[in-house]
Amino acid sequence: MDYREYDKLVTLYTEKLGKINAIAKGAKRKNSKFTSTTSSFCYGEYVLYKGKGMYLLNEASTINSFQDFLNALSTIAYGSYLNELIDIGVVEGEPEYGLFKDLVTSYYFISNNAVDKDLLMRAFEIKFLSYIGYGLNFGSCVSCGKEIKTSNFLDLNSNGFLCSNCTSSWSVKISNSAYNIMRYIVGTELKNIYKLNVNEESKAQLHKLMKEMVRHCIGKNPKSLDILKI
């Protein structure tokens, strides 16, 4: 589908259609009706028309623009990181309501300063990887199948944990605390993450661990948080 100088190509993550690309006619013009609804963090309702090769945005209304993200570099970075994960890790046209809900929940948490944002990023990463097919396996060793209640090694290649007798060239050492935190996150809804109290040492370990896991699973290294140097 052709689009002109003042038209805007936007990527939308939707509840019913998943990730899609759409053209917003005239969105780059001053005072366009689509200016706010095609901004980076806008949560809204969209009326779309399916063209020959792409969706066309007909109408849009804002539920929450989350423009308060723009008040601080940190909130811009956190919000952009969530968007980047969706952009590089989600297959177009495959809806996943749980991921959509968790993305919106994360936006509200950031906006309201309701939780530790670094911990929120780790929880979202774990949930995100599960939704796209890289869920963590707890309860048994991914190498020998032995039942385990804790572990000090995560096998990145199998998205699971090793018992004390098994090794893997893809394993990363973790603490019992990190194992328990990850297990709690997997077993609870993201909206409950505020109940989790994690010390700075465990947060640092989780950050390093999840950075490796995200890169290993999706084959890319997201850059949005680099500006925060964390």
The pLDDT of residue 13: 98
Q: What is the fold of 69-228?
A: de novo design (two linked rop proteins) (1.20.1440)
**Model-level pTM?**
0.94
Q: Read off the pLDDT of residues 71-97 as tens digits, 9 standing for 90 and up.
A: 999 999 999 999 999 999 999 999 999
3 band by pLDDT with thresholds 50, 70 and 90: low
Q: What is the fold of 8-64?
A: OB fold (Dihydrolipoamide Acetyltransferase, E2P) (2.40.50)
The pLDDT of residue 2: 53
The pLDDT of residue 230: 55
Strand order in the sheet with 171-173: 160-161, 153-155, 171-173
* Six token digits for residue 126: 């774990």
CA 195 to chain centroid, in Å, comes to 20
Q: Is the sign of the CA dihedral 82, 44, 192, 129 positive or negative?
A: negative
Give the start-to-end residue ranges of the domains of the chain: 8-64, 69-228
The pLDDT of residue 178: 95
The pLDDT of residue 4: 78
Q: Read off the pLDDT of residues 213-230 as tens digits, 9 standing for 90 and up.
A: 999 999 999 989 888 765
The C-alpha torsion from 74 through 76 and 78 to 83, rounded to 10°, is -170
Q: Read off the pLDDT of residues 149-199 as tens digits, 9 standing for 90 and up.
A: 999 999 999 999 999 999 999 999 999 999 999 999 999 999 999 999 999
The pLDDT of residue 136: 95
129 pLDDT higher than 80? yes
Q: What element of type H or E holds 56?
A: strand 55-64
Q: Read off the pLDDT of residues 7-49 as tens digits, 9 standing for 90 and up.
A: 999 999 999 999 999 999 999 998 899 999 999 999 999 999 9
Looking up tokens 């309860």 gives: 139
The pLDDT of residue 54: 87
1 pLDDT higher than 70? no
